Structure 1
């Protein structure tokens, strides 16, 4: 069975197409933002979209389509489906579909809570059983020792809980537009800042890349 360390190497394709990888991860969120912002205009241009519902439902339908396209492109170009986007995509399709079918925005707004809660449960649950699962969740380009993986897994697990709670606070207390803006323009910067804040820990626990050493030896 592969260890988290062995699963953290980016593929050759990911090294050659870093910008495409970023676009595939961020693109669906931007589509969601545009769909909510210009939902009424889109409905006028494409009357069939009126059957989906209001702007938030139109945005969700476009988000679902963009997510599926991003996963397909990832599979074709990178030869695999990243675990985190794949799991998120499944939740997007299930709860987005329920929200549109039932015309209930609650399913759509609770989706980030469920996704983040699920990742927190997996990471912290894995630690409880002595497994550092972060290497299987993230396709990161660094190697850590066991203690480093445990600490980083704990921190990310707690961070996912923070994001889940924050999403609940925002969607339950603010307008739809505020929630969409938070989802697109708030969550990403917060996650980037958190990731950067973990660099000292990563540097302290990073171990030599055996594969890189082998390449140099050749």
Structure 2
């Protein structure tokens, strides 16, 4: 299926909507205990249980509307299902809190493996939308791999040492802000190694 372009607003809503919905749901249910089929679940676990199908649904809609999904999107939804499902099944919110750690470690590991082979796997994902010379791709890939590793460590520190409220705020706003700030800081690299599209 050929990839189709999607309206930027709709794409952002499908990608970030589930995260915002999780945050709002958590604020509403965080102090509640809900009994389902004779089993008591914390508000956090109920919101997690609702987040899983919502994430699957929005990812499926992205695929249906664009005709493709990135490896990052596929890995994310799989880990959401696995770690979210474990949290609900075992009634242990730690599994879901570990999910960002696993995602970022996976991405950092894959990018790092490519670097050891002298390749930029990032280029295979973003090369068409971000034309850049090979040297630039290697530098950017190394920086992103280290950035993902830093995010994984930060997530572990926060969920293990701070409250659930703090972790939810970090997951909803902190990670998004960190991503935005990181890519904004790469402007000089893109200017130095970027290639004009009409020259590609």
TM-score scaled by structure 2? 0.90
1:52-131 to 2 correspondence within 5 Å?
A: 53-131=41-119
**Aligned Cα root-mean-square deviation (Å):** 2.3
Is structure 2 residue 16 aligned with structure 1 residue 26?
A: yes
Aligned pairs, number: 198
Give the 3 Å change call, closer, same or farther, for CA 72–147 of structure 1 in structure 2.
same
Name the CA distance, whole Å, in 2 between partners of 1:73 and 1:28: 12
Measured after TM superposition, the shift of residue 82 of structure 1 is 2.2
Q: 1:83 to 1:151 in 2, by over 3 A?
A: same
Q: Distance in 2 between matches of 1:103 and 1:89?
A: 20
Aligned mates of 2:40, 2:13 — CA distance in 1: 26
Q: 1:38 aligns with which of 24, 28, 31?
A: 28
Structure with higher RCO (Cα < 8 A, 6+ apart) = 1
Residue 170 of structure 1: how far off its partner (Å): 0.4
Deviations 1:157-201 (A, max 9, x none): 000001001001100111111110111011101110001001110
Q: How many angstroms does 1:140 deviate by?
A: 6.9
Which runs of no fewer than 5 residues in structure 1 stay unpaired?
1-10
Runs of 4+ in 1 over 3 A off after TM superposition: 40-44, 47-52, 136-140
Distance 1:158 1:52, change over 3 A: farther
CA distance in 2, matches of 1:32, 1:140: 32
CA pair 24-52 structure 1, distance change in 2 beyond 3 A: farther
Aligned to 1:175: 163
TM-score by length of 1: 0.83
Unaligned runs of at least 5 residues, structure 2: none
Matched, 1:163 2:155: no
SS at 1:143 equivalent: coil
